[in-house]
A and B are shown apart, each in its own frame.
Chain A
Amino acid sequence: GENVEQHPSTLSVQEGDSAVIKCTYSDSASNYFPWYKQELGKGPQLIIDIRSNVGEKKDQRIAVTLNKTAKHFSLHITETQPEDSAVYFCAASPGAGGTSYGKLTFGQGTILTVHP
């Protein structure tokens, strides 16, 4: 089955700095890679996702890059703010087709702390 490794486990930055979280996956059949933000006592919320036919996707301060050959993808947050502090999870999923979504395998999570 799929195995997703996520690093670092904790990340501390100053407000305004950038934060980068990296994930690697093992199953070459995976073609959908979402990123989730989980706040304390809450469920994960999708913040950005990317499919394997795209190398990069950006949404305001958040971007995701994908290197399908190397089987790794990264989350980039620019101009971090204290409210970005949370646990971030990457995930990988195979899909039966170009737009379908399969079972998610999650990374171990990264605790991001943004100091004001």
Chain B
Amino acid sequence: GAVVSQHPSWVICKSGTSVKIECRSLDFQATTMFWYRQFPKQSLMLMATSNEGSKATYEQGVEKDKFLINHASLTLSTLTVTSAHPEDSSFYICSARMDSNQPQHFGDGTRLSIL
């Protein structure tokens, strides 16, 4: 149980385009989803916390207009990287939890490469 799926797993696109990444909880309803970014050989850095039906809370230094997060349902959150540039290339990982009394379950990440 507690499966989190991300799509796509890998995307390459040209500089200036926008890219949408989906995070789905497959067998549970997630009141909270988290988005992380991981650069090569580095740790996971939390970007934002998303609660269903409300605006995401962004960590310091993360541009909310650059990284748009939508959590419109209890099983789906999306991260849109707007006007992506090469420096946005990274591994983006989401996690989801049912409620604050449950641990986070992680997806398998999305490798984003901006040319």
Residue ranges of A at the interface with B (Cβ–Cβ < 8 Å): 34, 36, 41-46, 49, 89, 95-96, 99-109
**Chain B hits for A42, CB < 8 A:** 108-109
| Distance in Å: Cβ of B43 to nearest Cβ of chain A | 5
B43 in contact with A46 (CB, 8 Å): no
**Chain A hits for B41, CB < 8 A:** 109
**Chain A hits for B19, CB < 8 A:** none
Considering only CB atoms, which chain B residue lies closest to A90 in the complex?
B43
**Chain A hits for B102, CB < 8 A:** 101
| Distance in Å: Cβ of B92 to nearest Cβ of chain A | 10
Task: Say what secondary structure dominates the interface of chain A.
Answer: loop
Considering only CB atoms, which chain A residue lies closest to B103 in the complex?
A101
**Chain B hits for A102, CB < 8 A:** 100
B43 in contact with A41 (CB, 8 Å): no
Number of B residues near A (Cβ < 8 Å) is 24
Answer yes or no: B101 CB below 8 A from chain A CBs.
yes
B46 in contact with A104 (CB, 8 Å): yes
| Distance in Å: Cβ of A17 to nearest Cβ of chain B | 24
Answer yes or no: B80 CB below 8 A from chain A CBs.
no
Answer yes or no: B111 CB below 8 A from chain A CBs.
yes
**Chain B hits for A46, CB < 8 A:** 103, 105
Q: How far is the CA of A115 from the CA of B105 in the complex (A)?
A: 30
Chain A proximity mask over B34-51: 1 for CB below 8 Å, otherwise 0: 100000011111100100
Considering only CB atoms, which chain B residue lies closest to A89 in the complex?
B43
Q: How far is the CA of A105 from the CA of B6 in the complex (A)?
A: 21
| Distance in Å: Cβ of A111 to nearest Cβ of chain B | 8
**Chain B hits for A41, CB < 8 A:** 108-109, 111
Contact A43 B107, CB 8 Å, known A96-B100, A101-B100: yes
